[in-house]
Structure 1
């Protein structure tokens, strides 16, 4: 059921789901720092968090993605997303805690954010506080902020748990300047050569610019059929740029185990 949900989300809202997938590596790296030994609930919360946003009108979703200012009525609709996400997820076996992480991670440590009547401070579940700070750090890295600038910026953010922020700042100061670069094995393949496990390195777009599948998406049977149907009916570029490295058996096992 979890795989079905993620497959559906990847097709309905490829922008949000792609961003959530990008966040997974940051979650796996930082969760142990915050005392969270098993990160699978955080990863699922990041991936399934956008499920409530399916109810949003497209123009509101576009505003959120581009960080444009919302009207009062639009903000009111957006504020209902955490509750809807929790209600949709809590009835799925073993996703009760995941639904709570999704619900609370929009709540600021300083009582800001939403839900407005939710607990704040350390009464917010640890995993939700961790997901909020990891998401904030991930976005800052994507904007190209240097580590020293990032830490200064985060310290001014009262919505973040200062204790978790202190742990991150201490680790960053110890590892400043260290970065790991993984060389991608890039190949140009046709639609018929796409295989489950490959990773798209470039957005798949129609001729009029409509996003079909977002860069960073791990190819699966659903996305293969989606791309091939678009090739037949709408016209796409004949080739696609992918990273052809397949996940290791151990990683595949861990991912499957975590999702059960």
Structure 2
């Protein structure tokens, strides 16, 4: 059985609250709080209120500040104000800061107060009903899209899930206003791939090279993604983030026309980084060298944002060279000559298409040992290209 919506009256005058209890008993379900601190304590303690009616002048905290706090603690609560000070400045301040539904002057006739409270209760009903409907629609639509993506290509879906994890980790530190929006954009970023032929999709999942015409087709998939996502309620911003995910910071990239620099949506600038970061690491583990690799293309990313993300995500991994991106020489070598500290410029791939290590990684001792085992069982494409040497590089 659904709980009856309750109203909270807040005032520092105990006699006034007692009078309200006598006059309004049986009209609707309500509670009282003697002052703003008690009201906040009730809400923090788990009490749910459809409507909060607060006095303006109270000693510990005025009504504007109280209702502003109520709006943060209980966003669905409809707020109303009672005050003896009817000046315009107070009314404007109350409405702007406390999200006030109605504003009453004291003394307020019982009938006027009843009409106002009942209107607020109806407003709360509308808010919660719409929210429930949208949340159900949203959840169902996202479930369908993610299931389509996971069935379409598990490898691509896995990378999207990894990008979502990264987004969840960095959202707070970069001051992202709606973290759920950012994570969802990462998850749905590759949904435009549903328009691709199966052979292109397969090569994408395995990170195999594409022909120029095929790359152009893939490059335009954000348009398809935007079209799909924008049909879902409340996902207009997510659709735009996904559409701009390959827009470079200098204004190049896809789409060919549009904003540049910080005018590009923040979420799109994050995805621009994570799309490329996902290509140079095989796991959620991110180290400093991965960001050093991204910095080789400074026009592509928001470098200030890149720095913030690195501070949150990058960890120290002793199996990697801890120095800056190496400025050594490049060599084409056979696998038997591979050394710890070499920086891969090409994938290490078996002749039957299995990628053992992706380019953009430093070679660790553990990886060399693993590679030696695989060499006994498989044939690899050789030679491979590495960067060797530079400041502090091992070898």
Same fold (TM over 0.5): yes
Matched-pair contact (CA < 8 Å) for 1:60–1:74: yes
> In 2 relative to 1, CA 122–88 (structure 1 residues): closer, same or farther, beyond 3 Å?
same
Which of 278, 302, 327 is 1:161 aligned to?
A: 302
Residues 126-151 of structure 1: per-residue CA shift (max 9 Å, x gap): 11101222343344342798733223
Distance in 1, Cα, partners of 2:262 & 2:236? 20
Greater C-alpha radius of gyration: 2
Structure 2 length normalisation: TM-score? 0.41
How far did 1:37 drift?
Answer: 4.5
Matched-pair contact (CA < 8 Å) for 1:13–1:54: no
Matched-pair contact (CA < 8 Å) for 1:108–1:120: yes
**Any idea what SS the aligned residue of 1:70 has?**
coil
Unaligned runs of 5+ in 2: 1-140, 319-395
Matched-pair contact (CA < 8 Å) for 1:28–1:39: yes
Q: For residue 22 of structure 1, what is the aligned residue in structure 2?
A: 162
Matched-pair contact (CA < 8 Å) for 2:153–2:201: no
Q: For residue 261 of structure 2, what is the aligned residue in structure 1?
A: 121
> In 2 relative to 1, CA 24–144 (structure 1 residues): closer, same or farther, beyond 3 Å?
closer
Matched-pair contact (CA < 8 Å) for 2:153–2:202: no
Which of 275, 292, 297 is 1:152 aligned to?
A: 292
Distance in 2, Cα, partners of 1:120 & 1:166? 19
Distance in 2, Cα, partners of 1:41 & 1:20? 14
Bigger RCO of structures 1 and 2 (CA < 8 A, at least 6 apart): 1
Higher helix share: 1
Q: For residue 106 of structure 1, what is the aligned residue in structure 2?
A: 246
Q: For residue 231 of structure 2, what is the aligned residue in structure 1?
A: 91
Matched-pair contact (CA < 8 Å) for 1:107–1:115: yes
Unaligned runs of 5+ in 1: 179-260
Q: For residue 197 of structure 1, what is the aligned residue in structure 2?
A: none
> In 2 relative to 1, CA 105–91 (structure 1 residues): closer, same or farther, beyond 3 Å?
same
Distance in 2, Cα, partners of 1:3 & 1:169? 31
> In 2 relative to 1, CA 37–8 (structure 1 residues): closer, same or farther, beyond 3 Å?
same
CA RMSD of aligned residues (A): 2.6
How far did 1:79 drift?
Answer: 2.4
> In 2 relative to 1, CA 10–147 (structure 1 residues): closer, same or farther, beyond 3 Å?
closer
Structure 1 length normalisation: TM-score? 0.60
Q: For residue 252 of structure 1, what is the aligned residue in structure 2?
A: none
Q: When the two structures are aligned, how many residues end up with a matched partner?
A: 177
Distance in 2, Cα, partners of 1:177 & 1:13? 30
How far did 1:56 drift?
Answer: 0.5
Q: For residue 212 of structure 2, what is the aligned residue in structure 1?
A: 72
Distance in 2, Cα, partners of 1:73 & 1:22? 28
> In 2 relative to 1, CA 172–3 (structure 1 residues): closer, same or farther, beyond 3 Å?
closer
Residues 1-35 of structure 1: per-residue CA shift (max 9 Å, x gap): 22122122222232211221122221111122221
Residues 164-213 of structure 1: per-residue CA shift (max 9 Å, x gap): 0122344568x6469xxxxxxxxxxxxxxxxxxxxxxxxxxxxxxxxxxx
Which of 126, 150, 153 is 1:10 aligned to?
A: 150
Distance in 2, Cα, partners of 1:47 & 1:60? 20
Distance in 2, Cα, partners of 1:3 & 1:69? 31
